[in-house]
């Protein structure tokens, strides 16, 4: 059996009752020490307690379902692995997130970083995912997740600049750092590494600081792998010698927000907070960007439009624009056989915008005249002119033209949603390669399990000064929690800003 090579965001069904997930890398002099770990999550995307964290100091989960296998060295290649018995996982566990941390350096110093999935008994390699890294000190390589009663594996490849502490807090574990001398780092002669404690974290509210929790009788703590030293989590301590953390920069107040219905305003407020957290974890708190939304309106999307999934996506993306864009507006395009610009989405008009402009393409056979359809309201696009096929490159070209004709001081983030069926690979590649020198980052999101062609391969295509394209796909975006969606949506944009700045593009 030939192992499947996976790209970032790809997924596959897991038929084996148990699997081994192995991270491998080339052994090198002066590189960081890498440790693999696993987080067992419930349906709310969080651990129940610190027992749901499996690593070398806590190598076996209480259920016996997840076990840290340990490291091996073979012909200059290092491996570390975890074994997961899917049949023994407790009913409450719906995801197993597979993480790695780098102590004493970054993953960018490591070559040959590859995640492999092995079937029953670890005898046959089912899939492999080759990862690229830069300044990250922690990684989510992949995840096993339960969908409609069946286990699947997804290649994630999401990096954190905040170390394993950033990953831990993301999934409900609070990390307390007791510093013996915060005013100066410990000397090589007398090392004083911080002692880290893991404790379950209650789900935060938008105004709740990320702070250590106390109890009358706290459980015996376990030590984080790579605990000396742990890079600081983006939220900064309130004072140099304190372990109490303040929340990252909060959500921006956006013009028109006050006109939204109360329930929508509450959702927006929480989502803006989550966007701010996602950016802060990548050292990008406070950045601004022009946000552009592109929606697939092809015929195969009809079911997602009728179920309200696309309208929900637009509402969730409005929070990204509200947090990143100073005026809180978002330019928008729809496409199928042709591409058409939609009226700008202004936050205060969101409910009406959803009603008027979230519409699937149509086809009109034997259409001889160009009269607008009866009953159309001002500003609406005649979706008969948009059609029902897939021509992504036309939307890409129109967005590029708009950015050239309307220069801005901030970079442009394009959020491009499609359900696949991509067949214009050459034309799409030409457009995106030509856009490398432009101040635009293209984040593609696949809705479902269709063919995404060049979009899912673009991360590995050579010959570009900077990587200007991100891609991931989800089976059902309506089931992905907001924080997870924003983390994945914004995982590559901050690093592109850095790279584009160095290259003189920004």
Report how far residue 397's alpha carbon sits from residue 434's, in angstroms, rounded to the nearest whole number: 10
- Higher confidence at residue 298 or residue 257? 298
Residues paired with 473 in a beta bridge: 446
- Report the alpha-carbon distance of residue 344 to residue 352 in Å, rounded: 12
The pLDDT value recorded for residue 486 is: 95
- Residue 294 confidence class, pLDDT cut points 50, 70, 90: very high
Q: 3-state DSSP call for residue 270?
A: helix
Q: Could you tell me the CA-to-CA distances from 371 to 380, 381, 427 in Å, in that order?
A: 14, 12, 31
Report the C-alpha gap between 177 and 211 in whole angstroms.
11
Mean pLDDT in residue range 285-304: 90
Strand-pairing partners, residue 80, are 23, 71
Distance CA 212, CA 234 (A): 16
Of the listed ranges 221-225, 309-313, 501-505, the least confidently predicted one is: 221-225
pLDDT digits (tens, 9 = 90+) for 339-359: 999 999 998 899 999 999 999
Q: Give the span between the Cα atoms of 311 and 352, in whole angstroms.
A: 11
pLDDT in tens, 464-501: 889 999 988 888 899 999 999 999 999 999 999 999 99
In whole angstroms, give the CA distance from residue 243 to residue 169.
14
Lowest mean pLDDT among 72-86, 239-253, 438-452: 239-253
- Burial of residue 195, with CB atoms counted within 10 A of its CB: 0-12 exposed, 13-18 middle, 19 or more buried: middle
Verify cis geometry, omega within 30 degrees of 0, for the bond prior to 229: yes
- φ, ψ for residue 238, nearest 5 deg: -70, -30
Per residue, the 3-state secondary structure of 58-121, as one string, reads ECECCCCCEEEEEEEEECCEEEEEEEEEHHHCCCCCCEEEEEEEEECCCHHHCCCCEEEEECHH
Please give the full DSSP string across 5-20, using - where no structure is assigned: E--TT-EEE--SSEEE
Instruction: Report whether pLDDT(218) > 80.
Output: no
The 10s digit of each residue's pLDDT in 170-199 is: 887 766 544 323 333 333 333 333 334 444
pLDDT attached to residue 160:
85
pLDDT at position 286 is 84
pLDDT at residue 87 tops 70: yes
User: Rounded to whole angstroms, how far apart are CA atoms 23 and 222?
Assistant: 23
Q: Could you tell me the sign of the dihedral formed by the alpha carbons of 196, 171, 288, 488, in that order?
A: positive
Residue 320 above 90 pLDDT? Answer: yes
Do 451 and 421 contact (CB within 8 A), yes or no?
Answer: yes
pLDDT at 287 over 80: yes
Confidence band of 318 (pLDDT split at 50, 70, 90): very high
Q: Give the number of other CB atoms < 10 A from CB of residue 244.
A: 12
Residue 449: pLDDT band by 50, 70, 90 thresholds? low
Sheet with 77-85, strands from edge to edge, namely: 4-5, 125-130, 114-118, 18-26, 77-85, 66-74
Element (H, E) at 177: strand 173-178
- 171 and 201 Cβ atoms separated by less than 8 Å: no
Starting at the edge strand that comes first in sequence, how are the strands of the sheet with 339-346 ordered? Answer: 339-346, 329-335, 290-296, 412-418, 440-447, 469-474
Average pLDDT over residues 385-399: 90
Q: What is the CA radius of gyration of the chain?
A: 23
Q: For the purposes of burial, counting CB atoms within 10 Å of the CB of 202, is it exposed (0-12), middle (13-18) or buried (19 or more)?
A: exposed
Q: Which residue in 398, 371, 401 sits closest to 295, CA to CA?
A: 398
Site of tokens 């406070």 = 286
Whole-number pLDDT of residue 57 = 78
Pairing of β 125-130 and β 114-118: antiparallel
Q: What is the pLDDT of residue 207?
A: 38
Contact 152, 144 (CB under 8 A): yes
46-55, 116-125, 272-281, 445-454: lowest mean pLDDT where? 445-454
Structure tokens at 267: 């959702």
Dmax over CA atoms of the chain, in Å, equals 85
Question: 172 is written with which tokens?
Answer: 């409900």
Percent of the chain with pLDDT over 90: 42
Q: Which segments within 260-407 are labelled E, that is strand? A: 290-296, 329-335, 339-346
What does the pLDDT average to over 381-394? 87
Q: What is the distance between the alpha carbons of residues 437 and 304, in angstroms, rounded to a whole number?
A: 34
Which pLDDT belongs to residue 357? 94
pLDDT in the model for residue 55? 87
pTM of the model: 0.58
CA–CA gap between residue 408 and residue 243 (Å, rounded):
40
Highest mean pLDDT among 101-110, 163-172, 206-215 belongs to: 101-110
504: Cβ–Cβ under 8 A, 6 or more apart, which residues? Answer: none
Q: What is the mean pLDDT of the chain?
A: 80
CA distances from 225 to 31, 248, 422 (A): 16, 25, 42
Question: Which of left, alpha, beta for 70 (phi over 0: left; psi -120 to 50: alpha)?
Answer: left
Give the range among 71-85, 218-232, 293-307, 352-366 with minimum mean pLDDT. 218-232
What percentage of the chain has pLDDT greater than the value 70?
Answer: 79
pLDDT digits (tens, 9 = 90+) for 406-426: 999 999 999 999 987 777 888
Q: CA dist 166 to 68, 99, 100, 324, Å?
A: 21, 11, 12, 22
Cα–Cα separations (whole angstroms), residue 448 to 419, 471, 496:
6, 13, 26
Distance of alpha carbon 336 from the chain centroid: 26
């Amino acid at each position: 059996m030939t192992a499947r090579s996976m790209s970032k965001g790809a997924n596959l069904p897991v038929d084996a009752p148990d699997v081994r997930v192995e991270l491998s890398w080339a052994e090198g002099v002066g590189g960081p020490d890498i440790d693999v770990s696993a987080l067992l999550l419930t349906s709310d995307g969080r651990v129940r307690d610190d027992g749901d964290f499996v690593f070398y100091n806590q190598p076996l989960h209480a259920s016996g379902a997840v076990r840290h296998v340990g490291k091996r060295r073979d012909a200059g290649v290092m491996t570390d692995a975890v074994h997961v018995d899917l049949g023994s996982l407790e009913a409450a566990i719906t995801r197993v997130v597979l993480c790695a941390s780098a102590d004493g350096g970054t993953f960018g110093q490591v070559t040959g970083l590859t995640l492999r999935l092995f079937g029953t008994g670890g005898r046959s390699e089912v899939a492999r995912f080759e990862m690229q890294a830069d300044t990250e000190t922690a990684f989510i390589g992949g995840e096993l997740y339960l969908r409609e009663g069946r286990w699947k594996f997804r290649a994630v490849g999401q990096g954190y600049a905040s170390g394993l502490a950033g990953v831990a807090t993301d999934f409900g574990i609070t990390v307390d750092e007791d510093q013996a001398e915060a005013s100066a780092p410990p000397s090589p002669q007398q090392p004083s590494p911080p002692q880290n404690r893991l404790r379950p974290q209650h789900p935060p509210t938008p105004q709740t600081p990320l702070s250590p929790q106390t109890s009358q009788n706290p459980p015996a703590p376990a030590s984080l792998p790579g605990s000396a030293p742990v890079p600081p989590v983006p939220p900064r301590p309130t004072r140099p010698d304190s372990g109490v953390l303040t929340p990252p920069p909060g959500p921006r107040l956006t013009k028109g927000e006050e006109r939204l219905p109360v329930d929508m305003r509450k959702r927006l407020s929480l989502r803006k907070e989550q966007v701010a957290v996602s950016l802060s974890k990548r050292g990008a708190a406070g950045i601004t960007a022009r946000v552009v939304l592109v929606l697939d309106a092809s015929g195969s999307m009809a079911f997602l439009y009728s179920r309200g999934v696309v309208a929900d996506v637009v509402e969730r993306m409005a929070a990204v624009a509200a947090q990143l864009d100073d005026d809180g507006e978002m330019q928008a395009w729809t496409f199928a056989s042709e591409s058409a610009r939609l009226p700008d989405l202004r936050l205060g008009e969101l409910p009406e915008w959803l009603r008027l402009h979230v519409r699937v393409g149509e086809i009109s056979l034997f259409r001889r005249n160009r009269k607008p359809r009866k009953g159309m309201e001002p500003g609406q696009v005649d979706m008969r002119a948009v059609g029902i096929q897939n021509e992504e490159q036309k939307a890409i070209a129109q967005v590029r033209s708009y950015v050239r004709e309307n220069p801005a001081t901030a970079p442009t983030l394009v959020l491009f949603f499609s359900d696949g069926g991509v067949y214009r690979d050459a034309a799409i590649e030409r457009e995106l390669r030509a856009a490398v020198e432009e101040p635009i980052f293209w984040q593609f999101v696949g809705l479902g399990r269709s063919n995404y062609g060049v979009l899912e391969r673009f991360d590995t295509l050579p010959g570009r000064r900077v990587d200007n394209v991100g891609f991931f796909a989800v089976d059902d975006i309506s089931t992905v929690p907001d924080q997870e969606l924003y983390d994945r949506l914004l995982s590559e944009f901050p690093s592109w800003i850095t790279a584009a700045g160095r290259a003189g593009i920004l």
